Amino acid sequence: MLDIHTAPTPNGIKIPIAAEELGIPYRIIRLQLSRGDQKQPDFLAINPNGRIPAVVDHDVPGGPLAVFESGAILLHLAETRGGLIAPGVAGRAATMGWLFLQVGGLGPNFGNAGHFLGGAPEQIPYAIDRFQGEARRHLEVLERRLETQDWLDGHGYSVADIAHFCWVRSAGYAGLTLDDTPSLAKWAGRIAARPAVIRALAAIG
């Protein structure tokens, strides 16, 4: 059993999707971020950084094991359950590269673009242009890749696709659309139609 401490945010939906795809029994423990559940001592014992998602994996040797940071959790699940990662040294490197592009690039830029567009106490044009421009550039990187590949790592559907999908589907948060990235839009549509994704999104609400 996997306890998933999360909320319905782009990072928060990654882990239920991966669990569904890998056939892992899980329980969602939903945190109310607006009331600060992620800052309470019981959650900080699982994730000292006070951010969702985090998991407690009861099905690993020596468990239960707490794992935090969405990219780390995706890797943990893929490597312990055997799936969602390309085989071989070159394949694994490809999956890792595309996964960490999301973790270190697309996600932070989308998040900052959305914050400065709608969450900041004042409009700062430079900040909006900076982060929205970087978010758009990342969409263009994905578009070029998906013009020639069905899946980001070039091998198969993987944790890299899950990680990017969860943010790309919320492009409007960063003030962007997929109108100019048709290959990316088709890819996102294929993922959204997967039964495991539909089940995960219904489970988290």
Q: Supply the CATH number for residue 163's domain.
A: 1.20.1050.10
Task: Give the per-residue pLDDT at 45.
Answer: 97
Round to whole Å and give the CA distance between 43 and 55.
10
Task: Give the per-residue pLDDT at 205.
Answer: 87
Q: Same structural domain for residues 122 and 150?
A: yes
pLDDT digit of tens for each residue in the chain (205 aa)?
999 999 999 999 999 999 999 999 999 999 999 999 999 999 999 999 999 999 999 999 998 999 999 999 999 999 999 999 999 999 999 999 999 999 999 999 999 999 999 989 999 999 999 999 999 999 999 999 999 999 999 999 999 999 999 999 999 999 999 999 999 999 999 999 999 999 999 999 8
Q: Same structural domain for residues 101 and 179?
A: yes
Q: Same structural domain for residues 77 and 13?
A: yes
Task: State how many domains the chain has.
Answer: 2
Q: Same structural domain for residues 177 and 105?
A: yes
CATH number of the domain within which 59 lies: 3.40.30.10
Q: Same structural domain for residues 64 and 100?
A: no
Task: Quote the domain boundaries for residue 32.
Answer: 2-83+197-204
Q: Same structural domain for residues 65 and 113?
A: no
Q: Same structural domain for residues 117 and 74?
A: no
Task: Give the per-residue pLDDT at 24.
Answer: 98
Q: Same structural domain for residues 176 and 106?
A: yes
Q: Same structural domain for residues 8 and 67?
A: yes
Query: Where on the phi/psi map is residue 63: left (φ > 0), alpha (ψ -120 to 50), or beta?
Result: beta
Q: Same structural domain for residues 25 and 45?
A: yes
